[in-house]
Structure 1
Amino acid sequence: MTGTLCRIGLVVLALTGSALVFASEVRNLRVWAGPDSTRAVLDLDGRVDYRLFTLDDPARVVVDIDGTSIEHQLSIDPERSGVIEAVRHGVRNGSDLRVVFDLEENAKPQSFLLDPAGEYGHRLVIDLTPENAQTATERVREVVRAATTGEREMIVAIDAGHGGEDPGAIGPSGVFEKTVTLAIARALEERINAMPGMRGVLIRTDDYFVPLQERYGRARNAEADLFISIHADAFRDFRVRGSSVYILSRRGASSEAARLLAQSENQSDLIGGVRLDRGDDMLSSVLLDLSQSASLEYSSRAAESVLTQLDTVGRRHRSQVERANFVVLRSPDVPSILVEVGFISNPQDENNLNNPQHRERIAAAIARGVDEHFRQTAPQGTWFANNRTRGRHVVERGDTLGVIARRYQVNVNRLREANGLDDDVIHPGAVLVIPTGS
């Protein structure tokens, strides 16, 4: 009898031990707040079954996760918590976990599970959209409407690569690509808004994740004339450095490096967290057709102009525009380019990209390239069409703004304004547009 009891005890102990081994655990909570929604991410050690529901008065979102535990208190940063006011958790039914998000206002939740990707393991993602929140489309259109005066301004959609859950590449000393791209995007927006005839619209305004398809979708909603996606990627060889500019390829990549780069960037949705099992046909939404031919030609010309100006800032990785199948460039009707401002995997490039002055110089070079491109291609009815330039001047050693102004018989202030210059400093190789009138 005693032996039987011992055997039963061992079986129970074995079963209990198995339950503890295979029970899931919540390891961490991260929250990313954007202007139109808040994302909460629960890091897990495996796949789970869960249920989610909402409660009113006060507004709450409740998540019940089967067979799951947590060993520490969940906490949030009140400066970055968005619509979430507080979070708490407790044991339910002896073995399940209940997580309660207290909200500042009613919000519509969307949740989904993600398999491991990049540096992340299993995740439960909960997106919370306030019922009365301004949508991304409404926000970008508001920016465009505010910019409307008499002559139409050319709209430039500026996309800071990665963000939030997706840090992008990480440099040798720990600099995040998402941080660099947002800083340059903000600087570029300021430069473009300071130049006549253009208006910048940021696709991502802070540290939060935006899916690739939505990025160019927001550019389309803004009726952008040009979409610029900014990146600072990594490469397997840390010696590779310098800037480069890409456009979409409807066939193969123009080089093996371009193919690998596009392959890396296209995985952003898996890392950042996008529900890919939706009912709509995502493939059909990104198929390219003949209507894109004109857009690709326009993209190529814009890319050439920007690449030429980047040569005045520092080393170029490629001397010609590259092509690859980047998802973020697949808009059928908005000319789009992707600018690699350097390789963050290279210690020297990382150091430069972490320098605010260098980032400002990059933003200024891109803005000059866009300005030059619009001056040659802008359609009738725009400020650029009504202020066509006499031409352009490539700065040579010994040139000054005063010398150039006298040569073309234009006012120095007018010359400075036309090129978005804050001072009289110019560098050999820079291309200055020469405005009409004095």
Structure 2
Amino acid sequence: MNNFYIKSGIKNVESGKPYCSCLWRTAQTFFALFTISLAIASSVTAGEIKDARFSFAADTSRLVLELESAPKFTYFTLKNPQRLVVDLQNVDNNFSFTDLRLKGNLVDKIRHSKPKSPNDTRLVIELASKAQIKLFSVAKNADFPDRLVIELVDPNPVPVLVNSTGPNRDKNIIVVIDPGHGGTDPGSIGPTGTYEKNITLSISKMLARLIENEPGIKGVMTRNSDFYISPNERPKIAAREQADLLVSIHADAFTTPQPRGASVWVLSKGRADSELGRLLEQTERSSALLGAAADVIEDRDTERYFAETIFNMSMDLSRASSYELSNKVIREMKGITKMHKRTPQSASLAVLTTPETPSILVEVGFISNPVEEKNLNWSKHRERLALAVFNAIKAYFKKTPPDGTLWAEWKVDEPQEHRVSSGESLSLLAQQYGVTVRQLKNENKLTSDVVRIGQVLKIPSS
């Protein structure tokens, strides 16, 4: 018996005597069973959907699911009615979609259905019409967990036409804020791995908050989370919102780390002309652009000529407004960061092609430059950049508020300002603005009739 103990090779730590081999074999068996049970338990423990976001832009509906781990999924479609069925492996059924705000023209409802396996979840997306479907997973990063992206694209979108008949508009000034890139398109990537899409989204959200806190002006984001919108779809959102301005936020990059500084871009004249031609060609009748004016024009060529002339003027005005605003943005940003270009630049950029909407693209710095990448990762620096853009927007609209807005109404009640030039006098200015010298003196608290060159005078209402 003692020889058998010795063969077992296992001794009691306290007594130094060998353990009984039968006890050792029992322990081995128990350990093996415990390990197997743990493996089985881990294989059947389902993960969960941590969050869900739904968005709609132009002709695309997008559902993003945030998960605990990289998703394993299959899907298929059903007809009569149109449905998309998505099976998520090893994901529980507990997440509720009832609070998800669905909008757009593709998705009617999202619900659970009986899964193939108790450890899986089956989602049924009820569609309003047939759609082109794309599903893909996005790996987790510093800001987001693993995600499953479900994109539904309308194959027959309703074209967006510019309505020139002057419909009832929002009394607020509408500013569409466009964070560049997003989703599967990270944009440029900095030396330490910073994604441009995350920087642009952060600055855009800061800008949107500043705008929302200002009475009489409203901000609309093209995307408020991490998903992709094509450059051609972004100006369509501005057209749909009847925006007074589109501001697209980006971060520049170069093949070497040396370039740095911010810049502001507007649409080039050549691209503006080609977009106008495309718009006229794609419109079935120019009368859709002319509105009521087309009713008195019988000749088709004359109708097209008028439409082209009107929209040429409109786009020229839009480009001029974009250039004026760009200069204001540059002046504000000079106090925050180095400028790569000190005058507005022009280029053929798809995001800036809304015909009647002033549109600018702001490059907040070179993410490929190590110093600027570090600055852009600093929340305070991003806040200052957002404030600079906001101050420029506010100054621009304070000077030229769109007709029909609250700011336009407020400006009527505000006194005008005039900077005195050489040869001007109080009596001359009173005549020019249709007021009396006494009114000018009272408004500006002047004790004499003498004014100096460069002096800014408030002009009272006549």
TM-score (norm 2): 0.53
2:178 paired residue number? 159
Between structure 1 and structure 2, the one with the greater Rg is: 2
2:235 paired residue number? 216
CA distance in 1, matches of 2:249, 2:402: 25
Asked if residue 184 in structure 1 is aligned to residue 192 in structure 2, the reply is no
2:212 paired residue number? 193
> Does 189-198 or 301-310 show the bigger shift?
189-198
Preserved contact between residue 85 and residue 103 of structure 1 (Cα < 8 Å): yes
Task: Give the partner amino acid of 1:161.
Answer: G
State the secondary structure of the residue aligned to 2:182: coil
Task: Give the partner amino acid of 1:61.
Answer: V
1:169 paired residue number? 188
State the secondary structure of the residue aligned to 1:319: coil
Going from structure 1 to structure 2, the CA distance change for 1:74 and 1:237 (only over 3 Å counts) comes to: farther
Going from structure 1 to structure 2, the CA distance change for 1:101 and 1:284 (only over 3 Å counts) comes to: farther
1:68 paired residue number? none
Preserved contact between residue 76 and residue 87 of structure 1 (Cα < 8 Å): no
After superposition, what is the alpha-carbon deviation per residue over 1:127-163, rounded to whole angstroms, capped at 9, x for unaligned? 2489xxxx9x9xxxxxxx9x95xxx221111001111
2:265 paired residue number? 246
Asked if residue 372 in structure 1 is aligned to residue 395 in structure 2, the reply is yes
Give 1:236 shift.
Answer: 1.6
Preserved contact between residue 266 and residue 347 of structure 2 (Cα < 8 Å): yes
Give 1:207 shift.
Answer: 0.8
Preserved contact between residue 322 and residue 360 of structure 2 (Cα < 8 Å): yes
1:236 paired residue number? 255
Preserved contact between residue 157 and residue 203 of structure 1 (Cα < 8 Å): yes
Give 1:88 shift.
Answer: 9.1
1:106 paired residue number? 126
Percent pairwise identity: 34
1:206 paired residue number? 225
Give the paired residue count.
Answer: 293
Preserved contact between residue 78 and residue 85 of structure 1 (Cα < 8 Å): no
CA distance in 2, matches of 1:335, 1:207: 26
Going from structure 1 to structure 2, the CA distance change for 1:373 and 1:84 (only over 3 Å counts) comes to: same
Going from structure 1 to structure 2, the CA distance change for 1:349 and 1:182 (only over 3 Å counts) comes to: same
Going from structure 1 to structure 2, the CA distance change for 1:377 and 1:285 (only over 3 Å counts) comes to: farther
Preserved contact between residue 59 and residue 102 of structure 1 (Cα < 8 Å): no
Preserved contact between residue 343 and residue 350 of structure 1 (Cα < 8 Å): yes
Give 1:218 shift.
Answer: 0.9
Preserved contact between residue 175 and residue 217 of structure 2 (Cα < 8 Å): yes
CA distance in 2, matches of 1:180, 1:383: 32
Give 1:61 shift.
Answer: 3.0
Going from structure 1 to structure 2, the CA distance change for 1:219 and 1:60 (only over 3 Å counts) comes to: closer
Preserved contact between residue 32 and residue 38 of structure 1 (Cα < 8 Å): no
Q: Which runs of 4+ in 1 moved over 6 A?
A: 55-58, 72-82, 84-90, 433-437
Give 1:312 shift.
Answer: 1.4
Pairing 1:62-141 to 2, within 5 Å after superposition: 102-107=122-127, 109-111=131-133, 127-128=151-152
CA distance in 2, matches of 1:252, 1:156: 23
Q: Of 28, 38, 43, which residue of structure 1 is paired with 2:62?
A: 38
Give 1:370 shift.
Answer: 0.4
Give 1:222 shift.
Answer: 1.0
Gaps of 5+ in 1: 1-30, 42-49, 64-71, 91-99, 115-124, 138-144, 254-280, 394-407, 411-432
Preserved contact between residue 244 and residue 318 of structure 1 (Cα < 8 Å): yes
State the secondary structure of the residue aligned to 1:213: coil
Give 1:248 shift.
Answer: 0.3
Give 1:76 shift.
Answer: 11
> Does 333-342 or 53-62 show the bigger shift?
53-62
State the secondary structure of the residue aligned to 2:258: coil
Going from structure 1 to structure 2, the CA distance change for 1:223 and 1:282 (only over 3 Å counts) comes to: closer
CA distance in 2, matches of 1:188, 1:341: 13
CA distance in 2, matches of 1:241, 1:77: 49
Q: Please give the root-mean-square deviation of Cα atoms over the aligned residues, in Å.
A: 4.8
Give 1:298 shift.
Answer: 1.1
